[in-house]
Amino acid sequence: PRFYDLPLTEAHTAPETENFTKLTTLKPTEGDVKIVHDGSYQTNPDELTIEPPADGVLPYCSDLLWAHANSKISYDIPEGAQRFRAIGTGYRSRSVRFAVQFDGKETYRSPIAGIVSIDVPIPAGAEKIVLLTDDCGDQQNDWADWCYPRFVGK
């Protein structure tokens, strides 16, 4: 069974009053993903065969990282970042899990996701974050969205 932490309409990441950096505005150091920033699709040079979702399929999410599980995308952690926050959405998927690693060590793994709020402290001295999705072994219809991915600072 999929896990729905809360309805997508009630899920939030960093309030606009907090100091944050959108991952959708940063260049990944590794990975294949579709980047949606302010509602427009941007192609990552490493992108494979990922197409935009059909109209009306997704609730509105203007900033997201979007890929088919299994996927891996890496970013350098900006100076001053203390937390990583996102909303993991796999509600269009048969099965998908979200995981977060810092410098090769996993610090977060979701249940089989429908919608989950992700809020992970960044370990002191960490330099790289890796966002992973897992298809839970079925490799079919496993679209994974990291909605509103943010590095949150002081």
The CATH number covering residue 20 comes to 2.60.120.1060
Contact 31, 73 (CB under 8 A): yes
**If pLDDT is split at 50, 70 and 90, which confidence band does 66 have?**
confident
**If pLDDT is split at 50, 70 and 90, which confidence band does 48 have?**
very low
Q: Considering the entire predicted model, what is its pTM?
A: 0.75
Please tell me the distance from the alpha carbon of residue 37 to that of residue 16, in angstroms, as a whole number: 16
pLDDT per residue as tens digits for the range 73-127: 999 999 999 999 998 887 666 678 899 999 999 999 998 877 888 999 999 999 9
Residue 10, SS3 per DSSP: helix
Q: Average model confidence (pLDDT) for the chain?
A: 75
pLDDT per residue as tens digits for the range 19-33: 888 887 788 888 766
Supply the range of the domain harboring residue 37: 3-152
- What is the DSSP code string of 48-67? -S--PPPTTTSPP-SSEEEE
Number of domains in the chain: 1
**If pLDDT is split at 50, 70 and 90, which confidence band does 70 have?**
confident
